[in-house]
Structure 1
Amino acid sequence: MKLVSYNIQYGIGRDGRFDLERIAASLAGADIIALQEVTRNFSRNEGADVVAGITALLPDYFHVFGPAMDVDFGGRDGDGRPANKRLNFGNMVLSRWPIVGSRNLLLPRSRRFNRGNLQRSALEALIVTPDEALRVYSVHLDHVNVEERLQQIGYLKQRAFGYPLEGGAFSGGVEFGFPEPPCPEGFVLMGDFNMVQGSPEYVAMTGSVDDVEGRQIVAHHPVDAFTLGEPLPAGSVSWVDDGRPERNRLIDYAFLHASLAGRVGKTWIDSDAHGSDHLPVWLEMN
């Protein structure tokens, strides 16, 4: 099973061009896809409906979209009637197999006055593969404030680990004559976490490293897939600033429930992709 996460920057690449076709080409061969910065009616890509564009280019996938930010600035049509042209900014999950349930988890945020602060979210998708049910989250954390990321990680871990008690999007289907959906313990958190390995936020996600025994795999912390199997090449990055390459860094990850750690076969970053300022992050599970 191949999973990939890609912050697509509303379809605009490092050359400044809007091109969803090259983004779709970079996702070829994936079984499950997590996308961030998916938009509708956004001025930076001339109002493109990226959800419709991506699904048209990937017609063999089930999909779900979760708008973290949903605003309308009062636009009207030529006759003065409400245009209801809503600006959406959020995440998607696409899967070769059915997505039988989803929740759009809105992450904690603060009111900010000196920088734009868009609502961020984690889109939860319950996927039924031929062999098992799996939860996949497309995650996008705040990019300018450590304190906010720490709050978001705490909330995200509560929801991910609390799923067996909460029952996801739906439970108790017997009342309506519906089958009970699966309630898997295992999950994968994929996306743009806007943090580097070893940072306070990263430690909050994965736990501390023992000075003598190193990092442990424990039930109450997700595991960084990049720390399993073969390590990434030195200097690997997932976000690129061609004008200031000293700022390039690794900020996109896949974190797994500890029960899935032994199934990670390979991880890699597609450094040949140019459809965004981020690079696709891949994970292979057996």
Structure 2
Amino acid sequence: MSQRRLGTAALALGIVVLTDVLRVFLPSVITIFGQAASTPAELLGAFAVGWFVLALAAPALVARVGPATVGVTAALVLGAARLALTAAPGGRAQLWLASAGLFAGLVWLAATAARVAHPLPGLVLGLTASALGHALLGTYDLVWWERWPAWVASVAVVAALLATETALGRGRSATLRALGRSRSATLPVDGAGPPVDDHAPPNRRAWLLVGPALLLGGMVALSPAVAISAMSYWYGEAGTAAPPPFALAPLGVAAPLFLLGALTPVRPRWRAVPPVLLLAGALLFGYGPPTLLTFAILVSAAGLGGCLGLAAGGPSSQRAVRTGTGPAYAVVGGMLVFAVAALVYYAAYDLGYPNEWVPAVVAALTGVVAMRGVTASGGHRPSPVEPAPGLPRRRLAVLAAVVALAAAWLHGPWLVASNRGGPPERVRLVAYNIRMGFGLDGRLDLTALDRAVGRADVVVLSEVDRGWLLNGGHDTLGLLAARLGMPYVFAPAADPLWGDAVLSRWPVQRARTRPLPAVGAPTGAQALGVTVDLSAGVRLAVVSTHLQPPPGADPVVQARAVADFATGYADGAPLVVAGDLNTEPGDPAFTAFTSAGLVDALAAARPLPTSPADDPHEQIDHVFVSPDLTAADAAAVPGTASDHLPVAVTLTLPDR
């Protein structure tokens, strides 16, 4: 295999492994280092960004020791950390393993940039393979699987990375020996040597875009979970009442668009199109309604691919050729942009400031860097440059579409039979704040969540994540619903990907959602109403909400809004209002529900603390019911699958 092909393969495999580590590192910072939001956001952010800042020393290390040695060593540490994360029990061990893997991955990127002059093929293939692999797994990472196929696949990818890295290092050594025997060869003063990728000048601009590409791809353009969420908004105001058919179909279009945009030459007259598309997609993602999320994915995917192609196809910096460290600094700097932009975007949900502009700014920055790649010729009209010669772009695009559609078929909607034996006399209801699916040990454990929910008939969920990059890009709701065999209705709160949900073993109707007053709270809140059809004309109105109090205050304003919405929505039908209400019995917000004529369904079991899960002493998760429902068997189910305990109650329906 040629050195260029080796470089492409090593970069693609490394991107896949590094992305896997990032999907563990980011939520570990929140759930383990963050300690259930008890750690100040500023300290949390400093810890996360500090690893990227520390990696700024990597180019100097590469120049001193040599990119081959550093690359192989860093790849070995990265692979070992990736495998260890599957075996780790969670907790602090997981946090430090993920941090070590991330740092090793950043050092590996710096070493790879010093050796591979053409990053575009490997970067594009790595990003696409990572997205499609995540789609085939239903957005449930191999890291969290405790089955032997996960180990086999993980070991195979890591072994392939180490094999290509070793071969690449040997090839570089042979190239340097050949150059040393040539009288015409002049090595750079830092001793790094020229890149082994066909002796081509390294492209610093393309390396600079690795971080922004990881961010925009993971947030919107190539996220399977975002694609699933986007499809759900085509089926009603508050999402679909069942898994949408071919939910991954947008990825089947986005991935080919990304590949074709990156690998197809762009003529000078059209060079402004990819940056415009990318910016438009980012603006749609940040400011558009949820129903346009599908278009945001497609437009941003095409624009992101085109920008990478523009950056890779332009003339290269001669300074990078002379020093040999320019690409290494560029890729580490680009990853620092990834870290800072991700921190600024997601910290807004703790600190309370607008964040819709962050993806647009990163998209604009990406477009500027890409345009510099085609305007660096002094104003002349350059001919189209093949960004990745030799790659069968059309066949790759078709393959990506086929894989994505296969994933859509594998994880298609399941059929849930309605109750044909007449309405039940009792309904078991569970209300649960699942903290995006991560337990106190920082692991995404669907088995533990399933066990905590038990044999419930209706499940009310708070803090539901459907694709946040910060939490690993999982569709937690879809994964849990598939495991429980229950259709769902989702309602966004903070943005289209985070909110509340209701799952039911019976069909649901009339999904309605109402935004709640922010009243100074940093994170948004809403009330979701659904009507459970228990057959034979029997209905049960269920309202799911997660009140967000302003700092140091009680969420009484939001509680009154929910009570007003719920009683109006039920319109005389039996009613349940449940969720993480962030208020204690006797507080003004709690009293707002009882004053509206609702009854505390957990009263017989009081005190019933639910938070924190490992030492519960706060009663903040509640179930209120209308007086015609009889509550019994109230309990808080012990467990650490989240930082809250689920509350469960059996409801007896009124006589018909």
- Report the TM-score when normalising by structure 2: 0.33
Q: Are residue 121 (structure 1) and residue 547 (structure 2) matched?
A: no
Q: Are residue 226 (structure 1) and residue 592 (structure 2) matched?
A: no
Partner of 2:612: 240
Give the one of 489, 506, 515 matched to 1:64: 489
Query: What is the aligned residue count?
Result: 225
Partner SS, residue 592 of structure 2: helix
Partner of 1:105: 514
Report if the CA contact (8 A) 1:110-1:148 is conserved.
no
Give the one of 440, 458, 464 matched to 1:38: 464
The correspondence of residues 193-208 of structure 1 with structure 2, limited to 5 A, is 193-207=581-595
Partner of 2:651: 285
Partner SS, residue 34 of structure 1: strand
Partner SS, residue 35 of structure 1: strand
Give the one of 618, 635, 642 matched to 1:268: 635
CA RMSD of aligned residues (A): 2.1
Q: 1:93 to 1:107 in 2, by over 3 A?
A: same
Higher radius of gyration, 1 or 2 = 2
Partner SS, residue 628 of structure 2: helix
Give the Cα separation in 2 of the matches to 1:88 and 1:148: 26
Partner SS, residue 523 of structure 2: coil
Partner of 1:18: 444
Give the one of 563, 577, 580 matched to 1:192: 580
Partner SS, residue 258 of structure 1: coil
- Report the TM-score when normalising by structure 1: 0.73
Report if the CA contact (8 A) 2:554-2:587 is conserved.
no
Q: Deviations over 1:173-212 (max 9, x none)?
A: xxxxxxxxxx5522100100001111122122213xxxxx
Report if the CA contact (8 A) 2:602-2:631 is conserved.
no
Give the Cα separation in 1 of the matches to 2:527 and 2:601: 18
Q: Deviations over 1:147-180 (max 9, x none)?
A: 561111111111112226xxxxxxxxxxxxxxxx
Higher helix share: 2
Partner of 2:560: 154
Residue 265 of structure 1 aligns with an amino acid whose one-letter code is A
Q: Deviations over 1:21-80 (max 9, x none)?
A: 311222121000001101122244211111221222122x2211111122xxxxxxxxxx
Report if the CA contact (8 A) 1:120-1:141 is conserved.
yes
Q: Deviations over 1:197-249 (max 9, x none)?
A: 11122122213xxxxxxxxxxxx42111122xx433x5x3111165xx5x831
Q: 1:23 to 1:241 in 2, by over 3 A?
A: closer
Structure 1, unaligned runs of 5 or more: 71-86, 165-182, 208-219
Report if the CA contact (8 A) 1:187-1:257 is conserved.
yes
Give the Cα separation in 2 of the matches to 1:224 and 1:110: 25
Higher strand share: 1
Give the Cα separation in 1 of the matches to 2:609 and 2:431: 14
Report if the CA contact (8 A) 2:613-2:644 is conserved.
no
Partner SS, residue 642 of structure 2: coil
Report if the CA contact (8 A) 1:135-1:184 is conserved.
no
Q: 1:145 to 1:129 in 2, by over 3 A?
A: farther
Q: Deviations over 1:119-173 (max 9, x none)?
A: 1112111111146201011110014446561111111111112226xxxxxxxxx
Give the Cα separation in 1 of the matches to 2:601 and 2:621: 11
Partner SS, residue 195 of structure 1: coil
Partner SS, residue 259 of structure 1: coil
Give the Cα separation in 2 of the matches to 1:32 and 1:277: 21
**Structure 1, 197-206 or 146-155: larger mean CA deviation:** 146-155
Report if the CA contact (8 A) 1:146-1:201 is conserved.
no
Partner of 1:252: 621
Q: CA deviation at 1:98?
A: 0.4
Percent of counterpart pairs with the same letter? Answer: 32
Higher relative CO (Cα under 8 Å, sequence separation at least 6) belongs to: 1
